[in-house]
């Protein structure tokens, strides 16, 4: 078996704002396996500034992985514990190699085009008028769960935007999620959560920055809005540390981005621990191309969770990999009439 990797720069259709700044491009890598003339593809979705494996030796580790592919997946996953995105890319590549089509990684009613997955419509940060345009577009497109990133513009303006949705649609009609990306402080978080609670917010992702375990624990006890841990899970590699984190903070939800938490194996560990403590979860992509999104979506379908997932990022780029994945009326589906076109 031969393994190679390739760097690929994804170009956003329009600049996308987050609390960490404005994104115009997204760097990613592909692992390509070749065995007896058959190819297997996996995406190592490094997220600069967020991934635990955003390290100077990242490409060196990718090359080491390719050079040592003969070690096999199980051994490599152990060796790559601190490189979660490479772990996930390898899992994808091996599944791809075993698949009859190369892309049917978890055969199911989803991959046969017989079923869909509910997803949330993501509202990017920006000028109030731009955010309002996105909200209107998502509602017109049939989404009944809207997730709005908050924390980059004035909080009062964000409250007004959310209020404008709630004035038109009840919580039975539209579910509202917000993602603060750690923008609040332990001192002001509870006050802001109380204001959000009036608007029947379903949940808030990462209200304060990760690493403030005691403050987050206290917030989860007092919060009037269910809290979902997101960035808090990044960089927690050992099973015992994962268990300790959840037992200490006791969040209402956790959000799993496979590229950031060690792929399928890492996500399964978090899910098992969350289930033990009656903590709900959902899966979110992390700006991967359609190669990574395909794996995340198919994996998510196998979990049989009834919450809307965060899987609608495939249409963000001008130069994405063409795939059968498409979003229709607030759901992601696999259009079996479309084919993959690999141009990497």
> What's this model's pTM, rounded to 2 decimal places?
0.95
Nearest C-alpha neighbor of 181 from the set 138, 129, 232: 232
pLDDT mean over 150-173? 89
pLDDT tens digits, 240-259: 999 999 999 999 999 999 99
* Whole-number pLDDT of residue 154: 87
Radius of gyration of the chain (CA): 20
Structure tokens at 31: 């692992």
Non-local CB neighbours of 321 within 8 Å, separated by 6+ positions:
289, 290, 291, 340, 341, 342, 343, 344
pLDDT at residue 298 tops 60: yes
Instruction: State whether the Cα torsion 21-11-92-60 is positive or negative.
Output: negative
Q: Say how many CA atoms lie within 13 Å of 113 toward its Cβ.
A: 8
Place of tokens 């959560």: 193
Where are the domain boundaries for CATH 3.20.20.120 in the chain? 117-334
Distances (CA, A) of 43 to 23, 90, 169, 277: 19, 8, 39, 32
Q: Which CATH class is domain 2-98?
A: alpha beta
pLDDT tens digits, 178-214: 999 899 999 999 999 999 999 999 999 999 999 999 9
Where are the domain boundaries for CATH 3.30.390.10 in the chain? 2-98
Annotated catalytic residues are 149, 257
For residue 30, what is the DSSP state?
E
**In CATH, which of 3.40.50.300, 3.20.20.120, 3.30.365.10, 3.20.20.70 is domain 117-334?**
3.20.20.120
* Whole-number pLDDT of residue 269: 98
pLDDT tens digits, 59-102: 999 999 999 999 999 999 999 999 999 999 999 999 999 999 99
For residue 70, what is the DSSP state?
G
What is the three-class DSSP state of 320?
A: coil
Confidence grade of residue 17 (pLDDT, cut at 50, 70, 90): low
pLDDT mean over 5-27? 84
């Amino acid at each position: 078996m031969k393994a190679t990797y390739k760097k690929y720069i994804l170009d956003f259709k329009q600049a996308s704002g987050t609390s960490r700044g404005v994104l115009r491009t997204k760097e990613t890598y592909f692992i390509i396996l070749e065995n007896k003339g058959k190819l297997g593809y996996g995406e190592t979705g490094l997220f600069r500034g967020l991934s635990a494996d955003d390290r100077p030796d990242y490409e060196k580790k990718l090359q080491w992985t390719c050079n040592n592919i003969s070690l096999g997946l199980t051994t490599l996953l152990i060796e790559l514990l601190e490189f979660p995105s490479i772990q996930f890319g390898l899992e994808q590549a091996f599944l791809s190699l075993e698949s009859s089509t190369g892309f049917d990684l978890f055969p199911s009613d989803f991959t046969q085009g017989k079923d869909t997955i509910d997803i949330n419509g993501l509202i990017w940060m920006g000028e109030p008028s731009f955010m309002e345009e996105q909200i209107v577009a998502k509602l017109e497109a049939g989404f009944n769960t809207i997730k709005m990133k908050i924390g980059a513009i004035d909080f009062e303006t964000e409250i007004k935007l959310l209020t404008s949705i709630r004035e038109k649609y009840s919580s039975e009609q539209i579910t509202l999620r917000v993602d603060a990306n750690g923008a609040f402080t332990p001192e002001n978080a509870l006050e802001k959560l109380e204001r959000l609670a009036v608007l029947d917010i379903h949940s808030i992702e990462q209200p304060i920055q990760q690493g403030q375990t005691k403050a987050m624990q206290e917030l989860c006890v007092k919060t009037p809005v269910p809290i979902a841990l997101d960035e808090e899970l990044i960089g927690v590699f050992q099973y015992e540390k994962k268990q300790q984190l959840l037992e200490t903070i006791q969040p209402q939800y956790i959000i799993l981005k496979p590229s950031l938490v060690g792929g399928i194996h890492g996500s399964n560990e978090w899910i098992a621990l969350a289930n033990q403590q009656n903590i709900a979860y959902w899966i979110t992509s992390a700006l991967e191309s359609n190669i990574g999104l395909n794996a995340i979506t198919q994996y998510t379908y196998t979990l049989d969770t009834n919450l809307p997932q965060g899987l609608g990022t495939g249409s963000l780029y001008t130069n994405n990999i063409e795939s059968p994945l498409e979003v229709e009326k607030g759901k992601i589906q696999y259009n079996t009439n479309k084919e993959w076109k690999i141009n990497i």
